[in-house]
Amino acid sequence: MEGVERFKKENCDLIIVDTSGRHQQETSLFEEMRQLAESTNPYLVIFVMDSSIGQDAFGQSQAFNRSVSVGAVIITKSEGATKGGGALSAVAATKSPVIFLGTGEHKDDFNFFDVNTFVNQLLGMGDLSGFKEKIHDVVPPDQQHELLTKLLEGKFTMRLYHQYMLNMGSIRQLLSMLLGFCEKLMPKVDENVYQSKIKLCTTIMDSMKNEELDSTDPKFMNESQVMRVARGSGFQVRDVMEMLEEYKLQAKALGAMKGLQISKNGMPWKQHMSKVLPPQILNLMKQMG
C-alpha cells in the first residue's frame, strides 16, 4: 500500500500492482489478493493466464473471478492453434474480454488481441493482418513495398535474409503468420541460439560482396568465395557453409510465397505449399485436416 500511495502522490499516470501467481486451491493467497484489491481499489483487474495449463484454464479463471472482479484477460504462451481453448475458457469463466496475447518473452511477442486473427490461427489460417502490422512496425515506410514485392516474387536474397532476421524475428514466426502453420508444424528455436546465429550471420555477411548479398541464385557462392569469406570474417569454412545452408532452406520455404494466391477470407491455397514443404510436414497437415 505504501508504494501505491507514493505513486499517487507523485501523480503517476499508470500504477500497476503485480501479484505473484497462485493456484485455484491456494485459498489463503486468493484471500490475500481479495484484500489487496479491496485496499487499493483498482480501476481495472487483469487476469493473466498461462494458456499451457490446458483443461485447468476454466477452473483457474473462475477461481480468480470469485476473489476479485476481473475486468480483462491477458493470455500468455499462446503460440499455436492448439492453445486457443485457454482463451475461450478464460472469457467464458470471467465474462471479460481478452486484451493481449503473449507468444514469447520479448516485447515484440506481446500483441493486441484481435478476434479475427485469433479465429484464423485457431482454424490454421494465416494472420495476414499481423504480418502487415509487423512490416509497418519494423520496416521503414519507403522500404515496405519493396520488401513485400520481393517476398511475393520469391526473391529472397542474403541481404533480405539478414534484414529480416535483425528486424522481424525468426522465419518460423513469418511462416506462422503468413501461411497459417500452427506451432506443432514448426521446429522450436532457442532464443539464445537464435541471437548467436544473428551475430554470426552479421559478421560473415560483412565479408561478402554486394553481388553475393543481392544474388537470387541459391548456388551463388563457389568454394573459393566461401574460403575468402571465411578468412575475412574470422570464422571456419564450415560456419560459412552452415549459414549458407540455413539461408537456402529459408529461401526454399519462402519460395512458397511466390505467386501466392490469397482467398477472400485471407487464407493462402495450401495446395501451393506442396511444392516446397517436406513430405513429413505435408503428411502432418493432412492428418490435421
Q: Are the CB atoms for 174 and 255 separated by under 8 Å?
A: no
CATH topology of domain 2-113: Rossmann fold (3.40.50)
Q: What is the pTM of this model?
A: 0.46
List the pLDDT tens digit at each of the 289 positions of the chain: 678 888 888 888 888 888 877 666 667 777 888 888 888 888 899 888 887 776 777 888 888 888 888 888 888 877 654 455 666 667 777 888 888 888 777 777 788 877 666 655 554 545 555 555 655 665 667 766 676 677 666 677 888 777 766 655 555 555 555 544 444 444 455 667 767 777 888 899 999 999 888 887 767 788 999 999 999 999 999 999 988 887 887 777 666 555 554 444 444 444 444 544 445 444 544 443 3
CB pairs under 8 A, 24+ apart, for 118-125? 118/84, 118/87, 120/180, 120/265, 120/266, 120/267, 121/81, 121/84, 121/180, 121/182, 122/81, 122/84, 123/81, 124/81, 124/180, 124/181, 124/182, 124/288, 125/180, 125/265, 125/266, 125/267
Class of domain 130-287 (CATH, top level)? mainly alpha
Residue ranges matching CATH 1.10.260.30 in the chain: 130-287
The CATH 3.40.50.300 domain(s) of the chain lie at 2-113
Distance between CA 173 and CA 177 in Å, rounded?
Answer: 6
